[in-house]
Structure 1
Amino acid sequence: MSKKEKKTKGIGKENYKTSLQRLQLELVKLQRHLIRNDLQILIIFEGRDAAGKDGVIKRITEHLSPRETRVVALGKPSDRELRSWYFERYVAHLPSSQEMVLMNRSWYNRAGVERVMGYCSETEYENFMKSVVPFEQMLLGSGMQIYKYYLDISKDEQKRRLRDRRVDPLKQWKISPIDEVAIEHWDDYSKARDAMFRRTHTEISPWYVVKADDKKTARLNIIGHLMSLVDCPDKDKHAEQPDAEIVFPFDEIYLHNNIIAP
């Protein structure tokens, strides 16, 4: 059995807090570097419902300046947006100079939720899949840095988390009609995800898969992985190196050996 197939070991509360604080200090260094050099960073988080996107974003932004950090989580498109160029509503939220934007779901909604739930036509889906890579290349060519993470969880773990949402009054704001059918459409979401990976994972804009059944381990590794990618002269290269068995670039073989949840 591959090591990536093994369940991640939970991390103790104190070790987690210490590691998280150390990584959050690195994020502050990154933000200073971003502001000083007029950079633009876009971080996209995708994944199944209850995969842990909210929690990761909260830990990344917790100690960053809100003036230069934005979280984008768009709701249902308006009638006007439905009649507009698909990417238009997202373009308005892209990072400007000296800014970091974290998207809790993104234009890849069309490749996932919209595809599975029938919210877009086959033509709209194909137009998106053909245009998203050139669109990202254009953004990258303008100097924007883009990092794409897909949080991968098992079916059993999704069931448990969705069940927790229904009974925890502090989590019930997360409940949506999509949640109610997430498990029912598990296989459909898997097929849509696989097609998205195959057609939108590129050398200059790769997808990074995160094994996220253990939330704390996933959070630490995502932040560590992000810091390993960015060019920040002040960063501590020895701080919490990411585990390559937790965060790794997509590869077709992972769809056939259960490293990515089938």
Structure 2
Amino acid sequence: MSMLPTERAIRTTPEGLFWEPGERWVRGVKGEVTVVDSRHPVLVWEPELPVPQYAFPREEVRTDLLRPAKNPPAGTHTGSQIFYDLDVDGEVVENAAWTFPAADLAGYIAFAWFLRWDRGLDHWYEEEEEIFVHPRDPHKRVDALPSSRHVRVEIDGTLVADTHRPVLLFETALPTRYYIPPEDVRRDLFVPTDHHTACPYKGTAEYWSWRGEADVPPNLLWSYPDPLTAVAAVRGRLAFFNEAVDITVDGERLERPVTPFSEMLGTRPHP
């Protein structure tokens, strides 16, 4: 029996929210206590957030652990109506959960993950895999493909990488990233930093900064030493922010893209 297209279409609410039913078994844990155990989650996109959030039917949430928030924040979520503090064995997490006033989402409770908040649960799982930072977007793809393209990377005119063995990582709404074998990178020109970032699609990255005097942002080189299985091909390889360096692929100099990372890096498009 075929499924009608409208049964999986993203729905909208008058408040400006987008949402759709999810099919994954999702659990959220605080300490040793399972706070959320849901087989009927929904994914919710807010206009001001680039990633989705989960909301769960009340009956699949330990609502006995929720208390009306003592200090609810103002204007944190689109049309948010009620905030809850989470009390697990005497440990209180303020504003850990909330509801949306949208009629379509009545009876659902959303929880903070890790993207913007220092509050939330300790661990989240989709099926048996732990998920970090934020829920994965089902409309986003991340593909890591080995290639034989000729990739050269320069910083202020200095050649810092030259390879015919890159892995190209294609991620929806972001420029292609070129992951280069470490032996094809002038690692002596970079110094490791204590900066780390986490990605629900790729894993945890470590970073290096440029040693030279060029006006470039710190932490412009990174690697995933232990990437998630889906992008295992990038393991141990090194990638540069296209926004901050000059990359030439098969003899064609790429334009520096403008992305959400550009402001963070303090870069501008380069001719």
- Under TM normalisation by the shorter chain, which class is it? under 0.3
Structure with larger RCO (C-alpha < 8 A, sep 6+):
1
Higher helix share: 1
Higher strand share: 2
Q: TM-score, normalised by structure 2?
A: 0.20
- Rg larger for: 2
